[in-house]
Amino acid sequence: MMTSGKTETAEIGKRVKTVYDVVLEGIQRGEWTTRDKLPSVRAMAERLKVHRLTVMKAYQKLVDDGIVEVKYKSGCFVRGAAAGVTQVDSGVDQPWDYQARKVYTNRSRLADIHRLPVDYQMSEALIDPNLLPNMYMSNYVKQIFDLYPKLLSTYSTVMGDLELRESMAVFFMQKQGITAHADELMITTGSQQAIDLVSRSLVKPGDKVLIERPTYSPAIDVFVQQNIRLIPISITPEGYDLEHLEQVMKREKPRLFYMNPTFHNPTGFTVPAGQRKMLVELAERYQCILVEDDVYHDIYFGDPPPPPLFYYDTEGYVIYIRSFSKYVAPGLRISVLAARPSLMNGIAPVKALADNGTPLLNQKIFQHYFFSSRLQEHVAKLRIALQLRKEKMEQLLAGTGWRWTSPSGGLNLWVQLPDGFPVEKLLARCLELSVAFVPGSICDPLGQIEPWIRLSYSYINELQMEEGIRRLIAAAGELRSC
Ligand SMILES: Cc1ncc(COP(=O)(O)O)c(C=O)c1O
């Protein structure tokens, strides 16, 4: 039987895709890992019973997508995990685009630093447990069991406890003017899980994702796992360059933009109110989902921040992730993900696969504590304590000549050291001195931001801070004089 040219081409395309998928899945399964050589074209053609040309085309596509690389006269190799951060020419005035690939189970580089036990902890953007009302909380936990005697005998629903979601819907309306039905709210196990769920449900390999430069480092690690292309967007004290952002959205058609526009981690910048509505309009125009990570919203030192972008969203282009884990009770790991049904319908099944619902006990404790008057008193005092610690750290750094923009909220100082300063060596020396901080390069999707460090002022008390900063400055002095 004769087949038309069109059908034949479609058939060949299908076979190329099959080979492509076999290799991709093999990489994801670990059959071939970083820097492994793929089978030769001939071997793969025999294995899959296809023509060699088909394999060659599939390999070429894998090269184009940055998943494998060709080594002259040696064959095709799986790109290295570190090589997952490769710049390609984006056609704009600066190199800003790189590909991230799902070639291994990624790890959080930030968690790697946190794992190291130190006495002067300035790498964790966490609040000093002594600043949280621990005694009150533990009494509270006992009362919860009186209220819900069978609490431990049942699951939460996947979306989260209805009582909590209904209370959060009222909270968002009263505090932020945000209208969200309880069905549009999901309780997640921290914002970290929410970012992960979004990355698993809403992007597919090859999609383009915008991400701030610099950004919250584990978000880079999460998206890198999904074999997508990350496109960095700079954030400044004035927000984003909207003209540039529009060009990028127009040309690259990104699937989503992961952003942390309020007391941004690590810089502390806040995207001004004037840009927020425009950002949502851009998202609608170019059909790019905005993933608004709002962890530090309530930790402000002067005026409260502008309304979240989600407030301006009428068409369902914003996913709002609001964590309460930092200042309410980090151990409870409670965060809320708000999204309109079109997006929530994609995210909820992934949450079911992840954990079938955040522990009910945590949700009930959170619910009763969060809506108590005690919490409001606590947050007001906490803001003052954190502001004092920030000011203390700024005083201690004042004589160094290092530079930073004083944040008006959040938990971190983003500090610029002199050009060419060997930050990795500084970290190694500091760890020997029992001091930890975050090197700026891990907050950079391009891994290039060099002489910057993130110092968290929230975890250590003022005495520890004096000693920690003294050691940091001394270590920097040693390296300068080498
Ligand atoms: C910007 C940002 N997003 C998410 C998280 C994770 O928050 P959670 O503790 O709710 O998982 C953090 C924690 O430092 C953060 O800074």
417 closest CA partner among 391, 448, 453, 471:
453
Provide the pLDDT confidence category of residue 227 given band limits of 50, 70 and 90.
confident
Query: How much is the average pLDDT of 31-41?
Result: 82
DSSP-assigned letters across all residues of 43-103: HHHHHHT--HHHHHHHHHHHHHTTSEEEETTTEEEEPPSGGGSEEE--SSSS--EEE---S
Q: Whose CA is nearest to atom 7 of ligand 1?
A: 191
Angle between helices 5-29 and 41-48 (to 10 degrees): 100
Q: How many residues does the chain have?
A: 482
- Ligand 1 nearest-atom number relative to CA 326: 9
Nearest CA-CA partner of 103 in 17, 24, 20, 188: 24
Task: Tell me, rounded to whole angstroms, the distance of Cα 162 from its chain centroid.
Answer: 27
Q: Which of 232-237's residues contact partners 24+ apart within 8 Å by CB, and which partners?
A: 232/96, 232/97, 232/98, 232/444, 232/445, 232/446, 233/257, 235/261, 235/264, 235/267, 235/269, 235/271, 236/269, 237/267, 237/269, 237/405
Tell me how far the alpha carbon of residue 429 lies from the centroid of ligand 1, in angstroms.
Answer: 27
Tell me, in angstroms, the distance from the centre of ligand 1 to residue 334's CA: 11
For the chain, domains (ranges, CATH) are 5-80 (1.10.10.10), 109-128+379-481 (3.90.1150.10), 133-374 (3.40.640.10)
Of all protein residues, whose CA lies closest to atom 14 belonging to ligand 1? 125
- Residue 98 pLDDT > 50, yes or no? no
366 and 332 Cβ atoms separated by less than 8 Å? yes
Point out the least confidently predicted range of 5-14, 212-221, 340-349, 445-454. 5-14
Q: Residue 99: pLDDT above 70?
A: no
Given this model, what pLDDT does residue 102 score? 35
**Torsions phi, psi for 160 (to 5 deg):** 115, 165
CA of 109 to the centre of ligand 1 (A): 14
Average pLDDT over residues 19-35: 76
Contact 405, 447 (CB under 8 A): no
Q: How far is the CA of 128 from the centre of ligand 1 (A)?
A: 16
> Does 118 contact ligand 1 (Cβ within 6 A)?
no
- Compute the distance from residue 217 Cα to the ligand 1 centre, in Å: 10
What was the pLDDT predicted at 297?
Answer: 97
Ligand 1 contact via 323 beta carbon (within 6 Å): yes
316 has pLDDT over 80: yes
| β-bridge pairing 185-189 and 208-213 | unpaired
- Measured from the CB, is residue 335 less than 6 Å from ligand 1? yes
Cβ–ligand 1 distance for 262 under 6 Å, the answer: no
Which pLDDT does position 101 carry in this prediction? Answer: 37
What is the per-residue pLDDT for 79? Answer: 76
255 pLDDT band (50/70/90 cuts)? very high
- Pick from 108, 192, 222, 299 the residue to mutate for probing ligand 1's pocket: most ligand atoms within 8 Å of its CB: 192
- Residue 66 CB neighbour total at 10 angstroms: 20
Q: Is 439 in the pocket of ligand 1 (CB under 6 A)?
A: no
- C-alpha of residue 191 to centroid of ligand 1, in Å: 5
| Residue identifier of the C-alpha nearest atom 16 of ligand 1 | 265
Q: Please determine, for residue 126, whether its predicted confidence score (pLDDT) is greater than 70.
A: yes
Two tokens, residue 293 = 């990570």
Lowest mean pLDDT, pick from 126-135, 193-202, 223-232, 322-331: 223-232
Q: Please, what sign has the CA dihedral across residues 280, 282, 285, 288? A: negative
What is the atom index within ligand 1 of the atom nearest the CA of 193? 11
Measured at the CA of 212, the angle between CA 210 and CA 214, to 5 degrees, comes to: 145
Mean pLDDT score of the chain, rounded to an integer?
Answer: 89
Rounded to 10 degrees, the C-alpha dihedral 122/192/362/201 comes to 180
The angle formed by the CA atoms of residues 401, 458 and 120, to the nearest 5 degrees, is: 70
Task: Kindly state the average pLDDT of the residues 111-139.
Answer: 88
- The pLDDT value recorded for residue 85 is 34
Please state, as a whole number, how many other Cβ atoms lie within 10 Å of the Cβ of residue 431: 17
Q: What angle do CA 385, 391, 397 make, to 5 degrees?
A: 140
**What are the tens digits of pLDDT across the range 171-220?**
999 999 999 999 999 999 999 999 999 999 999 888 999 999 999 999 99
Q: Cite the beta strand spans of 135-261 per DSSP E.
A: 185-189, 208-213, 229-234, 256-259
How far, in whole angstroms, is CA 209 from its chain's centroid? 12
d(CA 206, CA 194): 21
When mean pLDDT is compared across 234-248, 266-280, 442-456, the lowest value belongs to 442-456
Which three-class secondary structure state does DSSP give residue 309?
Answer: helix
| pLDDT tier, 88 (very low <50, low <70, confident <90, very high otherwise) | very low
Task: Determine whether the shortest distance from the Cβ of 260 to ligand 1 is under 6 A.
Answer: yes
CB under 8 Å to 132, separation ≥6 — which residues? 327, 329, 330, 378, 382
Whole-number Å distance between alpha carbons of 12 and 122: 56
Nearest CA to ligand 1 atom 12: 295
DSSP H or E stretch at residue 247: helix 242-252
Cα dihedral across residues 199, 204, 205, 210: positive or negative: negative
CA distance 135 to 416: 39
DSSP helix/strand/coil, 28: helix
| pLDDT of 158 higher than 90 | yes
